Amino acid sequence: MKYLLHNILINKKILLVFCFLLFLFFDPAKLNALTRCEVLDAAQRWVDAGVMYSWDAWYTDPTTGWCCYRTDCSGFVSAVWRLPPPGHTTYSFAGGPWDDGVSYVIDASELQPGDALNYPGDPNQGTGHIVLYVSGDFRSGWVEVYEESSHGNPALHRWRSINPSTYLPIRLVGIEPCPPEYAGLSQVSGNEAIALVNWPDTGTWPLDGHAEVFITTPSGDMMHLYSAGNGDDWTAPSKLDGGAKCGFAASYWPPPKNYPEIFTPWHETSTAHLWLASGEWNTFQDFGGGHLEHLSTVVWRDRRVEVFGLGQDGAIWHNWWVNDSTYWSGWQSLGGNFVTGAGAISWGDGHVEIFATDSSGKVWHNWTGDFPGGWHGWESIEGNIASRPVPVRWPDGHVEVFARGTDGLLYHSWYAGEPGWVTFVPESTGVRFEGEPSVAMNPEGAGTPAGPEIVVRGQDSKVLHTWWDGTSYRQFEPLGNQSTASDPFAWIRTDGTMEVFVIDPEGNLAHIRRSESKIWGEWKIIGSGLEPCVESQPPQPDLQPDVPAETTQPDSFEPSEITEVIEPAEDMLAEAFPEREPIESKSSCGCSIPSKNSNANSILPLLILLILLRRKTKKG
């Protein structure tokens, strides 16, 4: 072996050949900065392919086309992190005895989708395991992950327990966030009276980071106004077209399209839409769908727009852009029996979930499977709710939902992994409000810790707000001394600035902005003659709650299973996550390559072959 290595080191020609082969095997374009969304997409492709666990280096990664990766836990993480095959081991990732610097340990509070949790293990005992983090509370030991778990099992996307004293949160050096338009909005884009979009900021008009507001007049004129870049100067409202109604929705098509589009209830037998085309707004065009109200939108990870509406039959209907085409799908029913429109959100892993309230005060939710799969079907979340449920996405990718209860208090629910969604519980004590809440996600450093901020219309018509302070939600406080006729709407600009918009009792559009100094300014009027669109509240709960009708699947979709693969959790209650023993399998990953020089060993056969060929050539 020493003689062989000596020959390799002194033979420049062989080294040149080896470098040339590396150049052939690895596409330099694929070594550019990797985003978190690309990591999650790559992981999902392993799950979709059902790649079985193995210590053998045989698998060609479907994203990069690189061969040959081990399909054990560390080979899987190496592949989706675009590290060279056959892959690192738990010992060479951060925290391991052979840490080679491609990753580093982070604090649990910093975890984001696309990071990893590494149990380095002991190379002398063949222990160790690593999983790709998606969401969940690391400190409680209950997390959503992608992983290759053990022999006999395929790649999984599931919730599972880990021991936070054994695993280390780690991050790939140089990993970048998802582009904002790729990750999707972290909040809904409007309420019954007000909708907004953010334009990207590339430094040149119109892509200068400005916000655009859409509102209507009592006569049905669709109006818009926009800011000067990220600043606080606004144009005067101007008319786009007539015929709009309350319950309209807005969406922004991400790059490369880069334009906003508005959807509205129109005639009794149709909806309508208009959009910015070649720098000019067109007029409302028929969008189909009879008797649809309370519209909402969501942008998928693949940059297509989907629109939801409440039908006269109580069902939620949807219409989506068919990618790689020039047409919309047409309205199709998702079933249900509701009195509110849908609150729609895209999770950190890219799947979409919608929420709606029935006449009994129960919230129902429906979610998509693996893109572009079908819809799961409606399931209920217990609670006595009297508004549309309003979802918001946290930085780690999980979703929390807020709503007004039948008692006028603020309620919220969140996904707790295997137990499912938590029953709606009250968050405000003693402070009651009207209409639906508005929820925006404060980014880190925007004047508060990262977390939701909720703005409501008090029973005295004053604007109130509460926010996550890092440990709990604050009590409601007045946001200035502003009266409102509409439900207020909170919005996060491209630079992280929060603004709140209302239509006051005189029909004026007023807004307040939290400045760069993290202090709320004064309320300003930036428009007039507008419609507050105050809707009647859903009926109070019946003794016999309504049950949504059976879901009707779109012709072009097949029903699929829920994105998450949930495994049974023996001997565990939801509140006992921290006590759960870790799932650690000796010899799961660490012992597959029991050598510090494992990556070098994987290419030795190739080098030996080159030497033999060279000697044979000399003899000839």
What residues does 168 pair with on adjacent strands? 118
Q: Give the number of other Cβ atoms within 10 Å of residue 288's Cβ.
A: 16
pLDDT in tens, 81-120: 999 999 999 999 999 999 999 999 999 999 999 999 999 9
Question: Residue 486 pLDDT > 90, yes or no?
Answer: yes
Chain centroid to CA 172: how far? 20
More confident residue, 601 or 83: 83
Provide the 10 A C-beta neighbour count for residue 27: 12
Q: Does residue 592 register a pLDDT over 80?
A: no
Q: Which pLDDT score, from 0 to 100, does residue 446 have?
A: 72
Interval 21-70: pLDDT, tens: 443 444 433 445 798 988 988 998 899 899 999 999 899 999 889 999 99
Return d(Cα 472, Cα 427) in angstroms, integer.
10
Peptide bond connecting 206 to the previous residue in cis, omega within 30 degrees of 0:
yes
Element (H, E) at 288: strand 285-288
The two three-digit tokens of residue 293, written as one number: 């109200």
Q: What is the rounded average pLDDT for all residues in the chain? A: 82
Q: Is the pLDDT of residue 369 over 90?
A: no
Residue 278: per-residue pLDDT: 77
pLDDT the model gives residue 373: 58
Residue 372 pLDDT? 59
Which among 542, 481, 482 has a CA at the least distance from the CA of 506? 482
Higher pLDDT, 469 or 215: 215
In the prediction, which pLDDT does 541 show?
54
> What pLDDT score was predicted for residue 620?
37
Q: Could you report the per-residue pLDDT of 530-586, keeping only the tens digit for each?
A: 999 986 445 555 534 343 433 333 333 232 332 333 332 323 223 332 333 333 333
If residue 20 lies in a helix (H) or strand (E), which one and from where to where?
A: helix 12-25
Q: What is the pLDDT of residue 594?
A: 35
Q: What is the pLDDT of residue 417?
A: 80
Cis peptide before 452 (omega within 30 of 0): no
Residue 267 half-sphere exposure toward CB, CA atoms < 13 A: 7
Q: What pLDDT, on the 0 to 100 scale, is given for residue 560? A: 30
User: What is the predicted pLDDT for the residue at 389?
Assistant: 98
Average pLDDT score over residue span 240-258: 92
Give the mean model confidence (pLDDT) for residues 141-153. Answer: 94
- Give the strand pairing for 316-320 and 305-310: antiparallel
Q: What is the pLDDT of residue 540?
A: 54
Which comes out higher in pLDDT, residue 616 or 250? 250
SS (H, E, C) 542-559: CCCCCCCCCCCCCCCCCC
> Which domains does the chain carry?
2-177+589-619 (3.90.1720), 180-527 (2.120.10.70)
Mean pLDDT lowest among 241-250, 331-340, 516-525: 516-525
For 249, list phi and psi in degrees, rounded to 5: -145, 155
Give the count of beta carbons closer than 10 Å to the beta carbon of residue 599. 19
* Of 57 and 507, more confident: 507
Quick check: 338 and 364 in contact, CB under 8 A? yes
Residue 269 has pLDDT above 60, yes or no: yes
- Is residue 206 very low, low, confident or very high in pLDDT (cuts 50, 70, 90)? confident
